[in-house]
Structure 1
């Protein structure tokens, strides 16, 4: 398994719905509330709450609150690692403050076992 902490600023939206066939993802809320949309159904995850995302389920998340949110993400088996986040950060950095190129993001996602869903 792989475990990572994810900080999500207030008002952040992750517009790229995606799925992954190689692993399950469990989200455990630490601080604030994130709204996860899984197979079209919204689920709020706050401190001490958990949601499990099965392989192949299309999902995305938003921080609709006024404060930042933090979650632990547990990926099993641990096939998603730090390289994914470094690669995404490189695409965001290359955008020089503008929106990142969605095609470049999709390429990084595919390389790491995620499938973007329009």
Structure 2
């Protein structure tokens, strides 16, 4: 068993990749997301090529899926079928942890590494470049 790979986006959001597509014959990817209070979270988006299931580990995450608003608490799970617009935010003063399962395994740690490169530039990332990285990995941003 190998250790998870930590990708710290430096904005209150940490990604701990457990299983990448290469580990599962592209069947799925599995990663833990740590969302600190006031974290900069991804824009509302949908996935073109994969479904995502979220499982609450710690804290309470506010999740919006299409027009539905819900709280994901420890032990709760929510299936997000590809094409459904979703976003999330930690509105609490506690750190939130969720487990994310994406299938099939077309979504990889490389997405977060590419986002990290944009974040390292110092200034706020160029929105057009950010959008292009999202689209490259099958995430389609949606204006909120």
The RMSD of aligned alpha carbons is 1.2
1:78 aligns with 2:74: no
Matches within 5 A, 1:33-48: 33-48=60-75
Q: Extract unaligned runs of 5+ from structure 2.
A: 1-27
TM-score if structure 2 supplies the norm length? Answer: 0.77
1:24 aligns with 2:38: no
1:115 aligns with 2:140: yes
* C-alpha distance in structure 2 between counterparts of 1:53 and 1:116, whole Å: 15
Q: 2:36 aligns with which of 6, 9, 20?
A: 9
Task: Tell me how far 1:99 sits from its aligned partner.
Answer: 2.7
Larger strand fraction of residues? 1
How many corresponding residue pairs? 116
Q: Extract unaligned runs of 5+ from structure 1.
A: none
Which range is displaced more, 67-76 or 100-109? 100-109
| Matched residue SS, 1:110 | helix
> In the alignment, what sits opposite 1:103?
128
Q: 1:2-48 CA distances to partner (integer Å, 9 max, x unpaired)?
A: 10011111122525110012111000011111111100211110111
Higher RCO by CA contacts (8 Å cutoff, separation 6 or greater): 1
**Equivalent residues of 1:12, 1:64 under 8 A apart:** no
Which range is displaced more, 99-108 or 66-75? 99-108
* Greater C-alpha radius of gyration: 2
Task: Tell me how far 1:102 sits from its aligned partner.
Answer: 1.8
| Matched residue SS, 1:11 | coil
